Structure 1
Amino acid sequence: MKPIAMLLTAAAGLTISCGAAAQQAPWAKPDTPSGPRDRIYAAEQFSNTVSVVDPSTNSLLGVIRLGDPQPMNLSPLYKGQVLVHGLGFSPDGRQLAVVSIGSNSVTFIDTATNAVRHTTYIGRSPHEAFFTPDGREVWVTVRGEDYVSVIDASTFAEKARVKTPGGPGMTIFSPDGRYAYVCSSFNPELAVFEVKSRKRVGTVKQPSPFCPNIAATPDGQQVWFTLKDVGKTIAFSARPPFAILKEIDTGPITNHVNFARTPGGQFAYVTIGGSNQLKVFRTDDFSQLATIPVGSLPHGIWPSGDGKRIYVGLENADALAAIDTATNKVVAQIPIGQAPQAIAYVAGGVPSGDGRAGLQPLGLAGAAAHLKLVTLEGAVATSVTLFDQGLTQVLQAAVTGLAPKRAYVLALAEHGDGSGALQPLAKFMTNPAGSAIVNAVGPIRQLVSSEASVPRRNLVIAEGGDGASTKIVQVQQR
C-alpha cells in the first residue's frame, strides 16, 4: 500500500463517531466511573513489593510484600521473589499476574484479599504477563529465552510455549482477542500470532532491537510500541498486513505507552525517562498535543477506567503521578515503593470491604536518596537514586546527554570536580540515543552525602570503561 493511501485508510478507521461510547484499553470495555472500589497497582523492582493505591483519595493503602531486599534475598534458602517488575490483570479485575525477573516467576494475587493464590516458575528472565481478553490464559514473555509461556489462568500451570524471535519483550492482545502482538527486546522483529491457533500470522520490522512495551488502542485499530534504545515510538495497523503507520522520535529512554479515549478523542501517552516527561499524541494524525513534566524517570503508565486520569510510575522518585487528561496537568503525586516498573489501574478490583487485608506498611520500601549529575557546563543530565536496602543501597542512574554507543564508567572521585583517583562502580555502554540505565550496589550514600563520616567521595561519569580514563564528562551536583 502506498504511504498516502495507507495514512488515509488509517485515519478513516480511527474516526470516533459523536455517538460512540468512550472505551478504555486493554479490552475496549465501556467507560467505568472511578470510585473507591478501584485500585492502582505498581510493581516495584528493588523493594520487591506491589504498592496498592486508592485512586478516589490518591492515597497509598499499603504494599503486598513478595520478597525481601538485599542481602536477605542472596541466601541459598531464600524463597521470596526478586526484581518484581511486570504486571497484568484479568478482564474481571479479580486477579493480578506479577512477574519477577530475578526469580523467574509469575505470582497470581487475589485483588479482593491481596493474598497470593499461586506462584508459577517459568524460564529465564520473564518480563511481562497479560491475560487474553477471554480471561482464560496468561501469556508471559520469557525475555531471557525465545518463547512466550502460556499459562492456564485457572490451574496456573504452563500449558504451551509459543516460539518467538529471541528476547520477547511483551505481549498485548487486540481487544477482540484475535491477535497477540509480541515485540522483541533483542531482535528488530515484532511477531503477530493468531491467539486461537497460536500460529504466527505476521511480522512488523522494529527500527531497533530493544522494545520494552507495547499497547493496543481501545478502538482496536492501532498498536503502538516503544524503543528504549533509540528513543522512538512506532504505531502500526492492528490488522493485516500490519503496516507501520508512523515512526515518532519521542526522546531518550522512551519507556511505556498507553491510551485514554476521552470526549476530545483518543490519545497516546508515552513516558520519556530521559527528560522526565510524558508526551501526548493524537492517534488520528499523530500530532503531539502536549508535553507534561512528571518527575524523575517516568516508566509504567495506565488510564483510569473512565479515561479521566492517567497514572505514571516514577522509577527514580518512588512515586505515582496522577494526570488529569482534560487539562494534561499533574494533579497528585503519591509515595509508593522502590523503583516502580509496570503499573495497572483495575476498575472495581475490590468488590466489597476496604481492600486492606494482607497489606503491610511501606516502611523501608519507601527509603531512598536522590542526587543529580551535571555536565561540566552545569546542565543537569543524569538523575541518580540510592534505594535503601539497610546498610547498602541499590544505585540507579538514568544517564543522558552522552555520545551514542560509547564506553563510560560511573565512578567515585576524590574531589567535586572529578579530579583525583577514580574508583569505578559500573562500566556501561550508551545506547544509540546517548543514554543508559546504570546500576551498582554498595554503601554509596555514606560516601557521597554531606554527612559522610569518612572522606567524602563524589559521583562522576568518565569516558572509557577500563578505569584508566581521566576525562570527566559529568559530576555530582553540589
Structure 2
Amino acid sequence: MKAHLSACILLATTLSASAGQAPGAADKPDIAVSARDRFYTSDQFSNTVSVIDPSSNKLLGVIRLGDPTPGNLSPLYKGQLLVHGMGFSPDHKTLAAISIGSNSVSFIDTATNAVKHVSYVGRSPHEAFFTPDGKEVWVAVRGENYISVLDGKTFKETTRIEVPNGPGMTIFSPNGKYGYVCSSFTPETVVISTDSHKIVGHVKQDSPFCPDIAATPDGKQVWLTLKDVGKTMVFNAKPPFGVIKTLDTGPITNHVNIVRNTKGQFAYVTVGGLNAVKVFRTDTFEQVAMIETGALPHGLWPSGDGTRVYVGLENADAAAAIDTLENKVIATIPIGQAPQGVAYVPNAVPSGDGMSNLQPLAATSESAQLKLGVPGSKTATQVTLFNQGLVQVVQAAVTGLEPKKAYTLALSVQADGSGTLQPLAAFMTNPAGAAIVNTVGPIRQVVEAKQDDARRYLVIASGSAHELGAAVQIQMP
C-alpha cells in the first residue's frame, strides 16, 4: 500500500512539474503540439513575419509587412522597416510585431494572418507584450526612456511609464502583478506594479545591455541576458527582488526562455558566438546541455507543452526545432531574413487552414554565409550576406577579438589580408571581445568574382577606418 501511495505521489509531482509554459503560470494546463499551433519569427532584413506549422515543421508562408532594400529607402515608403520584436495576447488571437526602423507595432490576427491595426510609438521600440489579463500592451521604447502602454483592444496609447533610459523588454509575472523591465542602455532593471504603473523595485544589472528577459511559470525567478558581457542574471521575482545567480553564458548571449517538462524546469539561453543554446536547471543552475543550432541563434520560445523549443537562427535564415527531452535539434526550417524575436502561439488557428494572407518567400530570401578566422585555429566569426537583389545586407557576428578595441570590417585584394584594404564598417568590440557588425553593398559580387583582379576578400583589421592596422581575421576557404 505504501509503495502504491509513493508511486502516486511521485506521478503527481512529475505531472505538476510539466504543466504550464511561459509566459503563463505553472498551474495552467499544457497544450499539446498540433496543426492549430503556429511559430512566428520577425525577420529583420526581409521585413516579414514567417509562419511555421510546428506539427509538420514546415514554413507555411510569410506575412509581408514591408519591402527589402532598396525599396524601403524611398521617401514615399509606407511599409514597416526592420521587423524585430514579437509578443502575443493571452487569448492567442493577436500577434504583436515590432518594427524598430518605423517605430511601429503591427497587430496581426493569428487566424487570418491579416494586419488589423498598426500603432506608431516612440523612437526605436524593441519588444512588446500583453499583460496577462489582456487589457494592456506594454511597448519597450528602447530609443527613449519609457514604456508606451497601449489599450489591449483599441491599441491606442493610454499612458507612458518612465523607466531608466533604453528599456529593452518587459515580461510579466504569471499572476500579472508585476512587469519586469530590463534596460539596453542603463545597468538597471526595474519592477513595475501593473495596477499602479509605479516602480516598486530595482535590480542592478552587471552591464548596460540587456536585450531579453523571462519569468519562470512558477512565479519564483526572473532571468535576463546581458549581450555585451556574455552573462545571464537571475533574480527573485518577489520583493525585495534580490539577485540569486549570475552565469557566464558566452559571447553574444542573446535571449532566454523557460521550459517545464517531465524532467523539471529549465532556462534555455541562445549564445550567438557559440552558435548554440545552453540549458540550465532553475533549481541548481547546473548546465545540463549545450545544443549546436546553426548560425547566430537569437529568439526562442517553448511549445505549449514544453516538449519543444523553437529558435530563430539570425545568420542562417532558418528556425531550429529542439526536442527538450533529448535536447537535440529535430528540424531546421528555412524562413525569412535574419529572424530576431519569436513567438510560439498554441491554438493560434482554432479553425480553417490558416493560410489566408500568406505569401511565399521571395528570391531575396537567399543568403550566403562566409567565415572569418585565423588559419590553424577554430573559426571565430560568421558573416551572412542577406540578398536584397543588387546589394546585400552584410552582418558579421564577430567573436574572438580583444575586448573594447577598435576594429574594421574591410575588403582585401589578397586572400591572406595583406596589401591594400578597403574599409567597410568600423566597430568597437564589447567586453566579451564580440560585436554585431552591419553594412550594405554588392559584397557577394566582389567576393565571388571569377576574375582575380576583380575579386576581394573579407577581413577584419585592427584599428579604425582611418587608421587601419593589419588583418587579424581573414576569409576562410
TM-score bracket for this pair, using the shorter chain length = over 0.9
Aligned to 2:206: 207
TM-aligned CA deviation for residue 451 of structure 1 = 3.9
Q: Distance in 2 between matches of 1:116 and 1:399?
A: 36
CA distance in 2, matches of 1:333, 1:76: 37
Unaligned stretches of 5+ residues in structure 2? 1-11
Q: Does 1:131 align with 2:130?
A: yes
> How do 1:44-443 residues align onto structure 2 when only pairs under 5 Å count?
44-443=43-442
Once the two structures are TM-superposed, the CA of residue 30 in structure 1 deviates from its matched residue by 1.6
After superposition, give the CA deviation of every residue in 1:337-366 in whole Å (9 maximum; x if it has no partner). 000001110000001111000000011342
CA offsets 1:36-87 (integer angstroms, 9 cap, x no match): 0000000000000000000000000000000001111111110000000000
Q: Measure, in 2, the Cα distance between the counterparts of 1:365 and 1:135.
A: 36
In structure 2, C-alpha distance between the alignment counterparts of 1:465 and 1:106, rounded to whole Å:
37
Structure 1: gaps (5+ residues): 1-15
* Superposed CA RMSD: 1.2
**SS state at 1:296 partner:** coil
* Contact 1:318–1:340 (CA under 8 A) maintained in structure 2: yes
AA aligned to 1:429 is M
Instruction: Render the CA deviation track for 1:302-326: whole Å, top value 9, x for unaligned.
Output: 0000000011000000000001011
Moved over 4 A (4+): none
1:26 aligns with 2:23: yes
Alignment partner of 1:425: what SS?
A: strand
**How far off its partner does 1:438 sit?**
0.1
Quick one: distance in 1 between partners of 2:363 and 2:170?
A: 33
C-alpha contact 1:254 1:274 (8 A) present in aligned 2: yes
Partner of 1:3: none
Structure 2 SS opposite 1:230: coil
Residue aligned with 2:123, SS: coil
SS of the aligned residue for 2:298 comes to strand
User: 3-state SS of the aligned residue for 1:30?
Assistant: coil
Query: What TM-score comes out, normalization by structure 1 length?
Result: 0.95
1:466 matches 2:435: no
Mark the CA change 1:244 to 1:444 in structure 2 (over 3 Å): closer, same or farther.
same
- Which residue identity does 1:328 align to in structure 2? N
- Aligned letter for 1:239? K
Distance (whole Å) between structure 2 residues aligned to residue 335 and residue 18 of structure 1: 35
Report % sequence identity: 66
Deviation at 1:468, TM superposition (A): 2.9
Cα distance per residue 1:140-194 (max 9 Å; x no partner) = 0000000000011111100010000000000000000000000000000101000
Q: One-letter code of the match for 2:402?
A: A
Count residues with an aligned counterpart.
463
Q: 1:147 to 1:452 in 2, by over 3 A?
A: farther
Is contact 1:168-1:182 (8 Å) kept?
A: yes
Larger mean CA deviation between 406-415 and 446-455 belongs to 446-455
- Matched to 2:445, the amino acid is Q
CA contact (8 A) 1:40 1:53 kept: yes
Whether the aligned pair in 2 keeps the contact of 1:231 and 1:253 (CA below 8 Å) is yes
Which AA in structure 1 matches 2:91?
D
Q: Normalized against structure 2, the TM-score is what?
A: 0.96
The 1-side partners of 2:423 and 2:48 are apart by: 30
